[in-house]
Structure 1
């Protein structure tokens, strides 16, 4: 059911990536606002996906009503994805309405369907918080275009804040995520699956772009380097922290806290893959074209953002920071100044080279050593009293 649900997000992520790619020729304030708008739309989609993942990790997914809710969310997510390319323009209303249906109506349906369930009150907390931001979403969709970004940004900030605080209400209190009982293995698999979906989107971009342009040796080389980059992202993610996420959640005394931290980290990981995929589209089309400094936001920025998130994941699983990943991040940042005047292909190759160095150092570090087990510092202490909602 959930893999079927993810099909809507396969399409949605391609729309996010395309919005980023459309910014390749922008500069100055237009580039900044364009990045801000696309990031906002991505975060709205991520919140919908994350809430659904937590629902299926906390409630019994084999229940018919839960399956109906997942399918309904899939349809709303598909509407958001269809509207996304012009969601900041003439398709703002369907995007906002689909989002509000998930955030406001769905919790009420869950609360009604799970009458008597010990954890149904979380849904009752979420609905009022989401309803409070609904006017901002609707006014932003129906009002002047220049107000849309600030109104939606404020609404989304409140939605994320409510989640962080546990949607506190005067008569119910808060239900902090850190105290929730969850299926740790299920949540870990969902995060891993979404990362793989993002990688799949990058492979799709590589194939679509290369098959749609005239053949040349330069484009074939860019195609090859782009593929190698995606393989390296996969390798660095899963080796070895990504593989141990399930183990870390199962061993944690507060799996809700670790799961919430992992959710935030995977949001950045998925975003970094989408940004990196934009560099594939730009470079395969013009591998030895004119040097464009703004392209480095994608060519170098994507892998750098990935390493930042991967460093955080390393800490969440092992309680340490990877030296090889830190070295790779520093090298990437230092290389930016030198890559400004070189053709895009040089930047893509340099980023792939740094990722290959990180992967090699990781392999050498673990050579002839026993495989490590997770030792997450998050949730190591005994969980406090989080109320009956846990």
Structure 2
């Protein structure tokens, strides 16, 4: 029964079977997959498609990152997180009261059993992610946008060698392809890196994209060709209806048989409105610094073990990224954290990186305390969910889209409907909304 003090606006036709809230990589890849399964799709976002976290991600296909976003060391790191505004992992002390419940859940998930479950869930998506991206980009004649050339983790302090060996052992236990490289191997592959680097781990089953923004725009164009409509509207609220689900924007209300919530860090409120469940979603604020004069420095993405940031070669330059800040959605960005990445790069190359014309950026990564996304079909099939991929949004978006297309089932509005995906899709149990009670 409707509340007379809050009258329901009149319903308007959306001419869509599925409304997607969110035009980031997860929303865009899902829109394309759903359209190819015969659905009429409408995508709503307050920004141009791909202008959120998808625009500024590190560009690294991080299939090797099968461990949760934090381990037991976060407890020892908490004082430094609060005190150092330029540290690689920072918690704004003013945000601490709001972050404490989320951090408590994160710590509880570090217990052996939930930690193993998180690793298994991340790995199940990651080990299928690169192939899913290769299928997707090949389907839009854009395979060249993905370089599956591997990535490298380097170290420079003798005392870090034992950490590297321990990490190599853990990776092998999880069947992550990994090679131990010495100084000479690094110099052969990436001769512009400093001779002071002592060695590293090479991950051959990873890669990087030439430009995340170009990837998004390419997929948007392909989706539009399949009939997907993109509207730039600010979503104000959502609700279930007898026919499916409705969304209210500044332009009115639209209804469809199904709704996909895929708006990243902004997904919690909409999910609560539709399902009645409040999910513990928080935000990793990520920064990058784009160096337009350094596109030829590296052949693949390189991460520093000690300095804790990544450098990815792209068409438009070298992207330095990787810091994490917990400060919520409202606090203004601290672009000094982006410029700090250039200072961190000093000493990693034979000649320092050129920062002339560099541009900083900050975006919101949606994070759940068990480091697993929510990928699910709820409310009698009227609501689909795909969010919470933290810093693996780029990596996992293509495989997530395949899962969402399977959850939605075949549509009725295409001359030829793409058949179901392969039988090797991962089980959805680790990603269900119900794990949060």
Normalised by the size of structure 1, how large is the TM-score? 0.25
> Of the two structures, which has the highest relative contact order with CA contacts closer than 8 Å and spacing of 6 or more?
2
User: By percentage of residues, which structure has more strand?
Assistant: 2
User: By percentage of residues, which structure has more helix?
Assistant: 1
